[in-house]
A and B are shown apart, each in its own frame.
Chain A
Amino acid sequence: MRTLRAFAEFVLGSLRIVRRGNLLYWAWIAFLLALIVRGVLAYATQLEQGLVATSMRDQVSWAFYIGNFTFLVGVAAAAVLLVIPAYVYHWKPIKEVVVLGECLAISAIAMCGLFVTVDVGRPDRLWHLVPGLGRLNVPNSLLAWDVVVVNGYFVLNLLIATYLLFALYLRKKPDPRFFTPLVLLSIPWAIGIHTVTAFLYNGLAARPFWNSAILAPRFLASAFCSGPAVLLVVMQLLRRFTRFEIQDAAIWKVAELMAYAMGVNLFLLGAEVFKEYYSSTEHLAHMQYMFTGLAGHAPIVPYMWTAVGCSLVAFLLFLVPRTRRSPLTLNLGCFLIWAGVYIEKGMGLIIPGLTPDTLGEIYEYFPSRNELWVSAGIFSIGFLLFTLMVKVATPILLGEFQASVRAEQSGTEASLKPT
């Protein structure tokens, strides 16, 4: 009962914290809210007209929404890159910030859910996916598995982050009997969500571009670059605007891990490119559509070369110790990695996978304006969630937001009285 009351105070205190902020904070919130409103309006248009409001058609039946979903599953999975050094190796500099990674995972999964929701033709029937109420086609359907693992990951991270922050708020150490198994479970689960998402495409023999055994490893490698890129920027912002002391060592270590991940990512991409171009079967068409254009159709070619360029430059910047330690090149690298992986997953995975279609037709997909507004709205919801969570987590980690001493004393008295 006492814990419940303390939790209620914790929630109320959190609400008070998010209502306090300087001009910059409120400008950021207002910007996000404006984009959310625009996104909701765009979604209303789509609901009324149907998915004809997007540029998707029978030939390219998944596109920008599903690309964003895939990218964000990767961002969520990347929390594991912080969890392993923090909880398995007890590396202190990262342990201090790992909860931020979990907050990022929670916001990313929330966006994933929204992107799937706006992509389906019948959002009113999504309850058909709820086990027990609808009819989930397990074990056959990979999307059914994805629904289970992604939602499970959301609950898991929400539990871990809330529990950890609440414990710190109460000035207690998290109970390892409860906490450690959850954290350990979250590591394979993070790898699981991105693997299952990769298998969703991987298992389709009709689409040779996806039907490659290294698709899941590629997904993981690119995810381990893009997710931490956000965190590096957030860590530096926190260091600058709050009393948060994040050691350089933590930032440099994460950047180093990202360099290796990007190296693996580029290597795997190279392996795919070699296989397609050297064997030069009819399956090459998809990669040609991506890198050189096919039969005069080249709408995504400039984006793909931009992505390759961004990833290569970022890899070098993060590989060389001097550039990864200089704030300027570090942040440039973060931006390039984010851009490179975002284009690669957002446009470069889905669209060439479906173009040319199974009967050889080429439909030039490019997202419609409405599609872009809806997506911007969803990203804004995600950033808003992340902002609010970081806003609450920061003073807790700094020891500024804690259960009041009076409450604690009365709590101690209460616990002492019976004895």
Chain B
Amino acid sequence: MSHGCDAGATSGLSRRDFLCALAGCAAAAAGSCADPTHTPFFRDHLKELTPEDKARLLRELEQEFSARYGKPVEVALDSPRPGVEFAYALDISRCVGCRRCVHACVAENNQSRDPEIQWIRVLEMDKEKGVDFAHADPYYEADTVPRPGHFYVPVACQHCRNAPCVKTCPVGATWQEPDGIVVIDYDWCIGCRCCMAACPYGARHFNWGEPEIPAEQLNPKTHYLGNRPRPKGVVEKCTFCIQRVRAGLYPACVEVCPVGARKFGDLRDPDGEIRYILEHKRVFVLKSELATLPRFYYFFGV
């Protein structure tokens, strides 16, 4: 694991160099034994890396993933597009609870298949009770949906403007990007799970075991802050499909929804679909009393 140490040679003396000098590369190698991703043990925070360091980091990850899965894997780090602020809107009156979004999300975002991680939880609720989490059922099984007397509320990361997870992270491993996406650096997260305790929406998921994805199912087009394969012992969550939306595509869940209940776009585009919904429909956010100010809106289309 010498690259953890020689990488800084081009970018002046960094903390990493200091640590490497201090601990010796033997310690770095020992550390990386416990690290299945073989990322360098000592590295600066992503926001402090030079463009060259970032490029090298991405190349190393690509080599590693390509070797592990036996096919070329791309790890990009596309920046937010200036002037863009993403928002999501979900039509409660259209959603039928088919869970196609859940599975499209897993396929697109390389969640672990075993142990199983899903970023979207679809809650079945009673029409009589309204949006009531205490009586919601995430494990409903049905031959046909929607079931009579029920409606469905899919929940994933709400990308809060006032995000409790970001506030509570002790090491700054999760933050909100200028385009509104709340991201996690899987190589900086220490796995303390403060963010999971803080999140009011159960949106954050922990890699309790070594994540497993069959090679043929791996989506090779990945983003460093999004759907690249994750190591054991770190937290992950929905990123609005950062690898797709920064390239101008819709998130996978929007594309797959058979009833068009899911809408996504740029909040700053005055003629965009999101603005139309916010201005013309009855809109609400989950747990508004907590003042998290989600970028994820629910609305009644009809």
> In the complex, are the beta carbons of B190 and A128 less than 8 A apart?
yes
**Chain B 110-138 interface residues, beta-carbon cutoff 8 Å to A:** 115, 121, 123, 132-136, 138
Question: Nearest-CB distance from B167 to chain A (Å)?
Answer: 5
- B209 CB-CB contact with A under 8 Å: yes
> Which of B76-84, B195-203, B294-302 is the interface stretch?
B195-203
Q: A47-B34, A206-B164, A361-B138 are in contact. Are A121 and B232 (CB under 8 A)?
A: yes
Cβ contacts under 8 Å, A121 to chain B:
189-193, 206-207, 232-235
> In the complex, are the beta carbons of B208 and A57 less than 8 A apart?
yes
In the complex, which residue of chain A has the Cβ closest to the Cβ of B231? A122
Cβ contacts under 8 Å, B204 to chain A:
58
> Which of A132-140, A161-169, A181-189, A305-313 is the interface stretch?
A132-140
> In the complex, are the beta carbons of A136 and B133 less than 8 A apart?
no
Q: Out of B35, B45, B155, B208, which one reaches A124, CB within 8 Å?
A: B35
> In the complex, are the beta carbons of B190 and A120 less than 8 A apart?
yes
Cβ contacts under 8 Å, B69 to chain A:
none
Count of interface residues, chain B, beta-carbon cutoff 8 Å: 53
- B290 CB-CB contact with A under 8 Å: yes
Q: A56-B208, A359-B121 are in contact. Are A141 and B167 (CB under 8 A)?
A: yes
Cβ contacts under 8 Å, A56 to chain B:
208
Question: Nearest-CB distance from B24 to chain A (Å)?
Answer: 15
- Most interface-central of A122, A133, A143, A147 (chain B CB within 10 A): A122
Q: A56-B208, A205-B290 are in contact. Are A358 and B200 (CB under 8 A)?
A: yes
> In the complex, are the beta carbons of B123 and A359 less than 8 A apart?
yes
> In the complex, are the beta carbons of A128 and B188 less than 8 A apart?
yes
Cβ contacts under 8 Å, A357 to chain B:
202
- B41 CB-CB contact with A under 8 Å: yes
Q: Out of B42, B115, B170, B209, which one reaches A129, CB within 8 Å?
A: B170
> In the complex, are the beta carbons of B232 and A50 less than 8 A apart?
yes
- A142 CB-CB contact with B under 8 Å: yes
Using an 8 Å CB-CB cutoff, how does the interface string of A128-158 with B read, 1 for contact, 0 for none? 1100111111001111100100000000000
- A247 CB-CB contact with B under 8 Å: no
> In the complex, are the beta carbons of A206 and B170 less than 8 A apart?
no
- Bound-state CA distance A356–B133 (Å) is 10
Using an 8 Å CB-CB cutoff, how does the interface string of A233-275 with B read, 1 for contact, 0 for none? 0000000000000000000000000000000000000000000
**Chain B 64-108 interface residues, beta-carbon cutoff 8 Å to A:** none
Q: Which residues of B contact A (CB under 8 A)?
A: 15, 19, 31, 34-35, 41-42, 45, 115, 121, 123, 132-136, 138, 155, 164, 167-173, 188-194, 196-202, 204-210, 231-235, 290
If A120-B191, A143-B192 are given as contacts, then 11 extra A-B residue pairs at C-beta distance below 8 Å, sorted by A number, are A50-B209, A51-B209, A61-B206, A121-B189, A122-B191, A123-B34, A124-B41, A144-B170, A201-B197, A358-B199, A359-B121
